[in-house]
């Protein structure tokens, strides 16, 4: 197996292990559109990183996180419906990113690779970043699991029972922003939400508890990465879209099974 | 009118035509309340939802909060729970007060595979307490059911179990009988009353229906932006402000209250016809 495939496989699996549990929260809390919004803002992060000549990954994480926090703040004084608010943020940030990238006009920016991912160009450094971030994200998820879940099920009850819901909501947003910024590498801005949602939706039919759903979802994500990479290698198809289609295949197969609970 | 309307009211209260707060907690004249809201004001969209509302709940006391739609009942409850910040006034809790809260409704996304056991476990603490809490509300058989599969009455029992799970000093129940049929309603109220005795906690409950809660309630607080009147259920049900809110209106289905009140003043069960003339006079 050529090295670049091995790197791609390691990176893809690392990302799938994160998008599985986080994606479960996205599905439970109906945050798919928020995922899209954050992903769209990543392009602006790229432009900003080039402009300030800082590490692009850090710039993307910073922009996604800022937008997530901005959303939490704006949602607090609700005068607009959430989907309207997200629509404004998503498309403004995407447009801003496209304009900024065009103005900078740097030869080092391959817009296409950000839009659809560039897994086959994964370097050792990328893998180190994915697993470094991954350990922190999964650690926080496990540490705050009960609070996150309780907040997701009924925020008022969680608050009365002493959970700091503002902190938990913010934590969830920041984790999501970070995971999206990292996962962008695999499937790109336009497809990153698929990696969050499809494995989780597939896992739903096989799981009896939230914990099971998060774990099974991570495993399905890993399988989807393997399947997509294999297809990409043998059939010479684009990697990111192949991974998404491979996940979709698993989802369709899962439809034949009755919901576990 | 019923024959024994005034037997529960002292003469001075009968003469008292202006709305005053009746002190109906003679057994706690000096005790510290579990929770106390004083001079609460809450305004949204330039409308006063609450004005100068005061409410105390003492240990082992069952207080029912009633009021017409839009009276601010849920707002007051949410302020007491700390879920909303009042624009005026303040809430004082006894130190280390543990509250068990039963929200009006919990809707869990169908994509979340959650059993009743798992739902109670979200409150943290000892897992053994889950089956105890379910047993208290006669819901042990539901332990492994999916939350989404519960009927209205089953859901209310499970929510009540979750509220009891942390062994609260104060139970706050926001319309606990919503979605429960009439037969189930009085059973659920009976259960709440029994639990109060068994667990010796204070209970604050929002209700629409004075008739059914009457037997179990120590004190009724009638809210319509401000506290109109409060006291023993029998006394409140004849209070002029209460009657103005619930008794005199014939439209919007409020007539049902009138009917119920007469049931309760009377203390008998065979007076329906005797009351009719009075209602429609």
Mutate: best of A27, A154, A208, A258, partner B, most B CBs <10 A: A154
B1: confidence class by pLDDT, cuts 50, 70, 90: very low
Closest CB to B103 among A146, A152, A156: A156
d(CA A74, CA A59): 22
Q: Which range among A18-27, A120-129, B34-43 has the greatest average pLDDT?
A: A18-27
Q: Which residues of A touch B172 (CB under 8 A)?
A: 160
Q: In what order do the strands lie in the sheet containing B47-57?
A: B47-57, B35-44, B88-93
pLDDT at B247 over 60: yes
For residue A147, give the chain B residue with the closest CA. B122
Mean pLDDT over A152-168 rounds to: 94
pLDDT digits (tens, 9 = 90+) for B57-75: 998 899 999 888 888 888 9
pLDDT at A247 over 90: yes
Percent of chain A exceeding pLDDT 70 equals 98
| Of the candidate ranges A104-118, A205-219, B115-129, B260-274, the one whose mean pLDDT is the lowest | B260-274
Q: What is the full DSSP assignment across A22-63?
A: HHHHHHHTT-HHHHHHHHHHHHHHHHHHHHTT--HHHHHHHH
pLDDT at B5 over 60: no
Q: What is the ipTM of this complex?
A: 0.87
Alpha carbon of residue A164 to chain centroid: 25
Q: What pLDDT does residue B161 have?
A: 93
Supply angle C-alpha A160, B72, B61, rounded to 5: 60
Max intra-chain CA distance, chain B: 60
Residue B106 and residue A152: Cβ atoms within 8 Å? no
Q: What pLDDT does residue B12 have?
A: 38
For residue A158, give the chain B residue with the closest CA. B123
Supply angle C-alpha B72, B74, B76, rounded to 5: 65
d(CA B37, CA B56): 6
| Of the candidate ranges A236-245, A249-258, B229-238, the one whose mean pLDDT is the lowest | B229-238
- The mean of the pLDDT values for chain A is 90
For residue B171, give the chain A residue with the closest CA. A160
> Under the phi-then-psi rule, with left for phi > 0, alpha for psi from -120 to 50, and beta for the rest, what region is B53?
beta
pLDDT at B20 over 50: no
pLDDT at A88 over 50: yes
| Of the candidate ranges A28-42, A238-252, B203-217, the one whose mean pLDDT is the lowest | B203-217
Q: Using DSSP, how many helices (H) and how many strands (E) does chain B show?
A: 11, 9
d(CA B41, CA B21): 18
CA distance A148 to chain B (A): 10
Q: Is residue B274 packed enough to be buried (19+ CB in 10 Å), middle (13-18) or exposed (0-12)?
A: middle
Q: What pLDDT does residue A225 have?
A: 95
Q: What pLDDT does residue A143 have?
A: 97
d(CA A130, CA B237): 67
Residue B111 and residue A29: Cβ atoms within 8 Å? no
Q: How many other C-beta atoms can be found within 10 angstroms of the C-beta atom of residue B42? A: 22
d(CA A56, CA B211): 67
Taking any CB pair shorter than 8 Å as contact, residues of chain A touching chain B are: 27-30, 146, 149-150, 152-154, 156-161, 200-201, 204, 207-210, 212-213, 260-261
Q: Which residues of A touch B164 (CB under 8 A)?
A: none
Taking any CB pair shorter than 8 Å as contact, residues of chain B touching chain A are: 78, 81-83, 99, 101, 103, 106, 108-109, 111-115, 118-119, 121-124, 146, 162, 166, 172
Which residues have CB under 8 Å from B248's CB, separation 6+?
Answer: none
Mutate: best of B91, B111, B155, partner A, most A CBs <10 A: B111
Do residues A43 and A49 make contact, with C-beta atoms less than 8 angstroms apart?
no
d(CA A182, CA A199): 17
Q: What pLDDT does residue B125 have?
A: 75
Do residues A191 and A240 make contact, with C-beta atoms less than 8 angstroms apart?
yes
Backbone angles phi, psi at B232, to 5 degrees: -60, 145
Token pair belonging to A120: 């086959």
Question: Which of the two residues, A44 and B182, has the higher pLDDT score?
Answer: A44
pLDDT at A105 over 70: yes
Mean pLDDT over A182-189 rounds to: 83
d(CA A126, CA A95): 27
Mean pLDDT over A196-210 rounds to: 94
Percent of chain A exceeding pLDDT 90 equals 54
- The predicted model scores a pTM of 0.83
Q: What pLDDT does residue B29 have?
A: 53
| Of the candidate ranges A1-15, A139-153, B136-150, B244-258, the one whose mean pLDDT is the lowest | B244-258
CA distance A190 to chain B (A): 24
CA distance A96 to chain B (A): 34
C-alpha distances out from residue A218 to A19, A138, A223, B107, Å: 7, 11, 9, 26
pLDDT at B169 over 70: yes
Q: What pLDDT does residue A98 have?
A: 86
d(CA A182, CA A132): 11
Closest CB to A156 among B83, B108, B146: B83
Do residues B265 and B57 make contact, with C-beta atoms less than 8 angstroms apart?
no
Nearest to B169 by CA among B100, B121, B103, B79: B100
pLDDT at B31 over 90: no
Closest CB to B123 among A29, A161, A213: A161
pLDDT at B184 over 90: no
For residue B166, give the chain A residue with the closest CA. A161
Residue B82 and residue A160: Cβ atoms within 8 Å? yes
- The mean of the pLDDT values for chain B is 76
Mean pLDDT over B1-5 rounds to: 38
Do residues A183 and A195 make contact, with C-beta atoms less than 8 angstroms apart?
yes
| Of the candidate ranges A85-89, A98-102, B8-12, the one whose mean pLDDT is the lowest | B8-12
Which strand (E) or helix (H) includes residue A260? none
């Amino acid at each position: 197996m050529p090295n670049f495939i091995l790197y791609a496989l390691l990176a893809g699996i690392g990302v799938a292990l994160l998008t599985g549990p986080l994606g479960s929260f996205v599905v439970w809390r109906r945050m798919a559109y928020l995922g899209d919004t954050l992903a769209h803002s990543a392009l602006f992060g790229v432009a900003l990183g080039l402009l300030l000549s800082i590490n692009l990954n850090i710039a993307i994480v910073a922009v996604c996180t800022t937008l997530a926090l901005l959303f939490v703040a704006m949602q607090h004084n609700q005068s607009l419906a959430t989907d309207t608010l997200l629509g404004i943020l998503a498309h403004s940030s995407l447009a801003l990113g496209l304009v900024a990238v065009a103005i900078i006009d740097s030869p080092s920016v391959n817009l296409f690779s950000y839009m659809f991912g560039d897994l086959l160009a994964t370097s050792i450094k990328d893998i180190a970043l994915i697993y470094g971030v991954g350990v922190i994200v999964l650690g926080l998820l496990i540490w705050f699991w009960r609070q996150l879940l309780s907040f997701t099920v009924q925020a008022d009850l969680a608050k009365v029972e002493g959970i700091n819901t503002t902190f938990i909501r913010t934590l969830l947003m920041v984790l999501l922003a970070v995971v999206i910024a990292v996962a962008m590498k695999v499937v790109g801005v336009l497809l990153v939400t698929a990696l969050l949602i499809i494995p989780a939706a597939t896992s739903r039919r096989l799981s009896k508890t939230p914990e099971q759903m998060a774990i099974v979802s991570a495993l399905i994500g890993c399988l989807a990465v393997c399947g997509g990479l294999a297809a990409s290698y043998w059939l010479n198809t684009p990697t990111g879209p192949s991974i998404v289609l491979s996940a979709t295949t698993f989802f369709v197969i899962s439809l034949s099974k009755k919901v576990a609970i | 009118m019923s024959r024994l309307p005034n037997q529960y009211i002292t003469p001075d209260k009968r003469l008292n035509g202006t709305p005053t707060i009746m002190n109906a907690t003679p057994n706690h004249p000096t005790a510290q309340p579990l929770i106390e809201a004083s001079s609460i004001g809450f305004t949204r969209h330039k409308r006063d939802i609450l004005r100068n509302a005061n409410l105390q709940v003492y240990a082992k006391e069952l207080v029912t909060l009633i009021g017409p739609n839009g009276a601010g009942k849920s707002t007051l409850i949410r302020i007491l729970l700390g879920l909303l910040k009042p624009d005026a006034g303040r809430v004082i809790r006894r130190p280390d007060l543990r509250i068990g809260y039963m929200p009006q409704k919990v809707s869990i996304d169908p994509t979340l595979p959650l059993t009743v056991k798992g739902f109670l476990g979200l409150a943290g603490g000892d897992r053994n307490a889950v089956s105890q809490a379910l047993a208290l509300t006669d819901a042990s058989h539901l332990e492994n059911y999916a939350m989404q599969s519960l009927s209205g009455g089953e859901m209310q029992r499970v929510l009540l179990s979750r509220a009891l799970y942390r062994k609260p000093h104060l139970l706050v129940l926001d319309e606990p009988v919503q979605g429960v049929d009439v037969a189930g309603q009085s059973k659920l109220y009976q259960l709440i009353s029994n639990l109060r005795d068994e667990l010796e906690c204070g209970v604050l409950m929002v209700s629409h229906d004075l008739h059914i809660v009457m037997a179990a309630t120590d004190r009724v607080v009638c809210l319509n932006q401000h506290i109109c009147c409060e006291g023993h259920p029998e006394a409140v049900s004849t209070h002029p402000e209460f009657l103005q809110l619930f008794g005199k209106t014939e439209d919007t289905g409020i007539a049902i209250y009138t009917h119920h009140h007469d049931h309760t003043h009377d203390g008998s069960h065979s007076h329906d016809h005797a009351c009719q003339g009075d209602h429609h006079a």
